[in-house]
Chains A and B, each alone.
Chain A
Amino acid sequence: MTSIILLSIFGILNLFVGFMKSKKVLMPVVLLFLAVALGATMFDWNQPQSYFSNMLSTDNFSVGFTAVMVLSTLFILPFSRSYVVAENSNLAEYYSLLLFALVGGIMMVSYENLLILFVGIEIMSISMYIIAGSDKRNILSNEASMKYFLMGSFFTGIILFGIALLYGATGAFYLTDIAAAATRMDPATSPLLLMGLLLVLIGVTFKIGAAPFHFWTPDVYEGTPTVFTSYMSTVVKTAGIAAFYKLMSAAFGGVYDQWFPTVVAITVLTLLIGNIGAVAQTSMKRMLAYSSISHAGYLMIALTSFNDRSENALLFYSLAYAIATIAAFGILKYVGDARGSDDYTAFNGLGKTNPLLAFVMTVAMLSLAGIPLTGGFFGKLFLFSAALEQGMIWLIIVAVLMSAVGIYYYFRVIIAMYMRDAEGERIAVDPLATFTLISLVVLTVLMGVVPGLFSNLL
C-alpha cells in the first residue's frame, strides 16, 4: 500500500520536475523514486495487512510480485538515455506514465475485490496506450497506440461485463465471497456464473497476450519504442499473470473443473502459436514479441495447481523472464539505434564489435531458451515440476517440445552475433546501461547457479 501511495505522489512530483530546463535530472530522480518505492515495498514483507475494508491487501504474494515489477522498471529506465540526450520535451510525462502504470500493476497483484482489479487494469492499460504512441512522428508507433487502445478498451469492457455477471450470479465483488458462493451453487446450473467467469478469463488472457487473443502483440510491440516495449513485455505481463493466478486460485479454485479445460486449451494454443510464430520472424523485435506470447503460455502452466510450489515457481519464472527480456530489449535498443534495423542481420558480428553486448545477449537468450546456468532453466524446471506433480504429463510434453522449438529462434541471434561477419562499427554504450546489463547477467547467472536463494520466497 505504501508503494501505491508513494508511486502516485512520485508520479505527480515528477511532472513538476519536468518543468525544469535540463532533462538530465529526470532519470536520477525517477531511479531514486523507484528505489524508495522498492524499499517501502520490502517493509511489508511478512506483514500482511488489508486496506479499504479489505478491498486491497498486501501479503508476501503481492509484495513478491510488486518487487519484481519495481525492480524491472528500475532496470529498464537506464536504457531510455537516448531520450535524455535528445532532450525529449515529453520525457517527464513518459516517466510519470510508467510510474502510474506501476501503480496499476501493484493494484492488480494486491486486489481482494474485483473492482480494484478492474481499476488496476485500467490505470495500467491507459498509461500503456499513451506510451505505445509516444514516438508520435512514427507511423508504426501511432498504429501501435491505436490498435492497443481499440482492442484493449474492448477487452476491458469484456472484463467489466464479466464482473457484472459474476456480481449478478454471486452478489459479491470480493474474491472470498465469490469463492464461497461459487462452491455453494452448482456451477452447471448457473450459466450466469460461467459466462461471467469466461468473460473475465478472456479479458485477462488478452492482457497477458495469450492466444487466441494475442493478435495485437506483435504489431504493438513492433511499433512501440523499444524501451517501452520492454516495459510492456515484463511489468505488464508480470502484473497480468499474477492477477490471473490470484483470480483463479482465490475466487475460482473451488470450481476448478469448470474452467480448467479452457485454461489448458489456451495454454497449449499459446505455446504453439508463440513458439511457431517466432520461428517465422526475421525481425528480432517481432521475434521477442512472439517469444513473450510463448512465455505467457509457460507462465500459465502455473495455473494447473494452486500451492506453494506453483506460487514460488511463478515468481521465480517471472523474475527470470523479466531480467532476461530487459537485457534483450536493452541491447536491441542500442543495436537498433546504431544499425537502423531491428532484424537479426543487424546483430551480425556483434561478438567482434561489442563482445560485452554479445555476451549479455547470449546469456539472455540462453535464459529465455531455458538452458542451464541461467535462471530461465530453473524457472521452467520449477513450473513444469509443479504441473507434473498434478499429473499434467501431456501438457508438459507439449511445453518441452515447444522449448526445443524455442532454442531454434533464440539461437539465431547467437549465431548472427558470433558466426557471421561483422557489418558495422562498434556501438557506444553509456556506463549506466553497461552497469545495468552486467547486473542483469549476474542476476541471471546467480538464479541459474544458486536457485535456492530465490526458489522459496513466498
Chain B
Amino acid sequence: MLTALIILWPALAALLVLLVKGDGARKIAFGAALVELVLGVWAWINFVPNASTQFLLNEPWIANAGIMFKVGIDGISLLMVLLTVFLVPLIILSTAKHRYEKPSSFYALILFMQTGLLGVFTALDAFVFYFFWEVALIPIYFIAGMWGGENRVRVTFKFFIYTVFGSLFMLAAFVYLYFQTPGTHSSEEVAFYQLVLDAGTQSWLFWFLFIAFAIKMPVFPFHTWQPDTYTTAPAAGTMLLSGIMLKMGIYGALRWLLPVVPLGVSQWANVVLVLAIIGIIYGAIIAIRQQDMKRLVAFSSISHVGLIAAGLFTLNHHGLQGAMIQMLSHGVNVVGMFFIIDIIQSRTGTREIAAMGGITQNTPFLSVTFLVLLLGTVALPLTNGFVGEFLLLMGVYQYNAWMGAVAGLTIILGAVYMLRMFQRVMFGEKNEITQGFTDLTFNEKAVLVPLVVMVFWIGLHPNTFLTISEPAVLKLLDVIKR
C-alpha cells in the first residue's frame, strides 16, 4: 500500500494544484513534494535491508490477460525513489524567482511527472513499467514545449518523437516476451526472468529493448536530441530531465534488459561498452569547446552517463554498484549545476562563458557551493562523484583493462572542461555584466545546501546507500548469471 500511496500522491496533489491560481500553486506543490519526501523516507525507515521486494501491491489490472498492477520496492528501487523524492521539492523550490505563465499547470505537470517517474522505479510488471514510462514523458514534453526557450517547438518535438519511437520497440519486445511466458501468459518481472530463450532470439530482443533505454540515457549515437532539449527546456525541466528522467534509462536497462536477455547482453556487451566509451570521450571533448554553460553541462552529462552505461554492461559487482551510487551522485550534481547556471543566467541575462568573470568577488556563498558541486562532478576524492566513478572504473577495468584505461580519461577531461568553465566564469576581473552580482538568496541557499550536504554524505559515507542496493544487486547478478 505504501508504494501505491507514493505513486499516487503526486498525481492527486497535481489535481489540487490545478485548482489554485497564481503563486499559491508553487507553495502547494512544494508542500505536496515535501509530503512525498516524508513518504519516501518513511519507506526507507521501514525498509528491511535484504534482497526482497517490499511494500508489494499486486492487484489484477487486465485480469483476462494475466496482467497485474504489480508494484513494490527493493533496494535498487528504493535508491531511485529516494533520489526522486529528494530532488523534486528542490526543483520546485528552485523555480521560486521565475514567474511562469500559468503556474498551476506548470507545477501540476511537475508533480504529475513525479508520479510517472516513481511508477517506473517501482513497477514489477512490464506493461505497468511501460505505462509509467510514457506517463513520465507527456508532462516533460509540455514543460519543455510550453515554457522553454527559442526553437522549443521543434526541439521538444524531436525529443518526443525520438523517445516514443524508441519505446515502441521496447513495447514490441515486451509483447513478444509476454507471449513466450507459459500458460495463460504473464508480464510480471519474475515471469520474464524465468524465460529460457535461445541466443538468436535474445540477440534481436536485446536491441529492441536497448534502443529505448539508450535513447533515454542517452548513449552515443542516440544522443542527438539531448543537448538541444537540455538547452531549450526551462531550468526546472532540464533538472527533471537530467537529474531523474535520465536515470529511467539506466534503471530500465538494469531491471528489464540485463536479467531478461542475459545471453543477448553477453553477445552485445562489447559493442555497448565501445559505444559508451566513445560517448565518454566524445561528450567530454565537445564539452571543452562549448561557449554556453548549459550546453557544456549537457555534453558533460553525455560523458558521465557513458561511464555509468559502461559500468552497467560489465555485469560485475563493482560496475553495478558503481552505477547505482553514481546515479544518485549524478542526479545531485547535475541538478546543482543546472541550478547554479540558472542563477547566473537570471542575474546576468546570459549563459555565455566568455561574457562572465570575477563573480567570486561578490559571492562567497555561491562560489563555495558551485565549487563543491563542480568538484563532485569531476570526481575529486571525498566527494560523491569519486565513489561512483571509482567503482565504475574498477568495474570496467575488471572487464577489460584497455577499456578501463580509456574510460579513465573522463576524469582528466572532466577536470579540463569543468575547471575551465569555473575559472572563466568565477575568477578574473569583474566586467559590467557581473558588476552587480549578488550572493545567494535564502531560497537559493535552501536548494543548494541540501545538495552540498548530499555531495559530502555520499562522498564520505557511501555505505549508507551502497548497503541499501547491495543485496538486490547481488540477487540481480545471480539472475543474470543463471
Residues in A with CB closer than 8 Å to B157 are 411, 415
* With contact pairs A404-B165, A451-B62 given, residues A419 and B179 touching in the complex (Cβ less than 8 Å): no
| Cβ contacts B147-172/A at 8 Å (1 or 0 each) | 00000110001001100110011011
Residues in A with CB closer than 8 Å to B153 are 415, 419
* B464 beta carbon closer than 8 Å to chain A: no
CB <8 Å contact, B168 and A404: yes
Told that A371-B138, A372-B130, A452-B62 touch, could you supply 11 new A-B pairs with CB distance under 8 A?
A: A373-B134, A384-B175, A388-B175, A397-B172, A404-B168, A411-B157, A419-B146, A452-B61, A452-B63, A455-B64, A455-B65
* A372 and B170 alpha carbons, distance in the complex (Å): 14
Q: What residue in chain B is nearest A448 (Cβ atoms)?
A: B131
Other-chain contact of A385, B152, B169, B175 (Cβ < 8 Å): B175
* B230 beta carbon closer than 8 Å to chain A: no
CB <8 Å contact, B130 and A418: no
Interface centre among B61, B169, B171 (most CB of A within 10 A): B171
Other-chain contact of B62, A351, A396, A404, A455 (Cβ < 8 Å): A455
Residues of A bordering B, CB below 8 Å:
312, 351, 366, 371-373, 377-378, 381-382, 384-385, 388-389, 396-397, 400, 403-404, 407-408, 411, 415, 418-419, 450-452, 455-456
A357 vs chain B, min Cβ distance (A): 15
Q: What residue in chain A is nearest B161 (Cβ atoms)?
A: A407
CB <8 Å contact, A388 and B179: yes
Residues in B with CB closer than 8 Å to A378 are 62
Q: What residue in chain A is nearest B64 (Cβ atoms)?
A: A456
A424 vs chain B, min Cβ distance (A): 18
Residues in B with CB closer than 8 Å to A404 are 161, 164-165, 168
B137 vs chain A, min Cβ distance (A): 8
* A214 and B130 alpha carbons, distance in the complex (Å): 34
* B406 beta carbon closer than 8 Å to chain A: no
* With contact pairs A384-B175, A388-B175, A388-B179 given, residues A373 and B135 touching in the complex (Cβ less than 8 Å): yes
B12 vs chain A, min Cβ distance (A): 13
Interface centre among B61, B65, B145 (most CB of A within 10 A): B65
| Cβ contacts B403-446/A at 8 Å (1 or 0 each) | 00000000000000000000000000000000000000000000
CB contacts under 8 Å to A, within B344-396, are none
Residues in A with CB closer than 8 Å to B164 are 371, 404, 407
CB <8 Å contact, A415 and B145: yes
CB <8 Å contact, B175 and A381: yes
Other-chain contact of B146, A403, A408, A411, A418 (Cβ < 8 Å): A418
A397 vs chain B, min Cβ distance (A): 7
* B142 beta carbon closer than 8 Å to chain A: yes
* A415 and B159 alpha carbons, distance in the complex (Å): 14
* Complex A-B, nearest 5 residue pairs according to Cβ-Cβ distance, in ascending order: A456-B64, A372-B134, A452-B62, A372-B131, A419-B153
CB <8 Å contact, A372 and B161: no
Residues in B with CB closer than 8 Å to A418 are 142, 145-146
Q: Interface extent on B, as a size class? A: 20 to 34
* A384 and B133 alpha carbons, distance in the complex (Å): 19
CB <8 Å contact, A400 and B64: no
A395 vs chain B, min Cβ distance (A): 12
Q: What residue in chain A is nearest B101 (Cβ atoms)?
A: A352
* B176 beta carbon closer than 8 Å to chain A: yes
B216 vs chain A, min Cβ distance (A): 15
A-B contact pairs, 12 of them (CB 8 A): A312-B64, A372-B135, A381-B127, A381-B175, A385-B179, A389-B179, A407-B161, A411-B157, A418-B142, A418-B145, A451-B61, A456-B64
Residues in A with CB closer than 8 Å to B138 are 366, 371, 373
* A408 and B157 alpha carbons, distance in the complex (Å): 8
* B178 beta carbon closer than 8 Å to chain A: yes
Residues in A with CB closer than 8 Å to B61 are 450-452
B222 vs chain A, min Cβ distance (A): 15
| Cβ contacts B117-135/A at 8 Å (1 or 0 each) | 0000000000100110111
* A452 and B131 alpha carbons, distance in the complex (Å): 14
* A81 and B73 alpha carbons, distance in the complex (Å): 52
CB contacts under 8 Å to A, within B8-35, are none
* A407 and B146 alpha carbons, distance in the complex (Å): 18
Q: What residue in chain A is nearest B162 (Cβ atoms)?
A: A404
CB <8 Å contact, A419 and B152: yes
A372 vs chain B, min Cβ distance (A): 4
Residues in B with CB closer than 8 Å to A408 are 161
* B450 beta carbon closer than 8 Å to chain A: no
* B60 beta carbon closer than 8 Å to chain A: yes
Residues in B with CB closer than 8 Å to A456 are 62-64
B363 vs chain A, min Cβ distance (A): 36
* With contact pairs A371-B164, A404-B165 given, residues A381 and B171 touching in the complex (Cβ less than 8 Å): yes
| Cβ contacts B40-80/A at 8 Å (1 or 0 each) | 00000000000000000000111111000000000000000
CB <8 Å contact, A419 and B145: yes
B323 vs chain A, min Cβ distance (A): 27
CB <8 Å contact, A385 and B178: yes
B70 vs chain A, min Cβ distance (A): 14
* A452 and B128 alpha carbons, distance in the complex (Å): 13
CB contacts under 8 Å to A, within B211-232, are none
Residues in A with CB closer than 8 Å to B176 are 388
Residues in A with CB closer than 8 Å to B152 are 419
Q: What residue in chain B is nearest A384 (Cβ atoms)?
A: B175
Interface centre among A378, A384, A455 (most CB of B within 10 A): A455
Q: What residue in chain B is nearest A449 (Cβ atoms)?
A: B131
* A418 and B179 alpha carbons, distance in the complex (Å): 40
* A411 and B171 alpha carbons, distance in the complex (Å): 21
* A312 and B64 alpha carbons, distance in the complex (Å): 10
A436 vs chain B, min Cβ distance (A): 21
Other-chain contact of A400, B133, B134, B172 (Cβ < 8 Å): B172
CB contacts under 8 Å to A, within B161-201, are 161, 164-165, 168-169, 171-172, 175-176, 178-179
Residues in A with CB closer than 8 Å to B165 are 404
CB <8 Å contact, A400 and B168: yes
Q: What residue in chain B is nearest A416 (Cβ atoms)?
A: B153
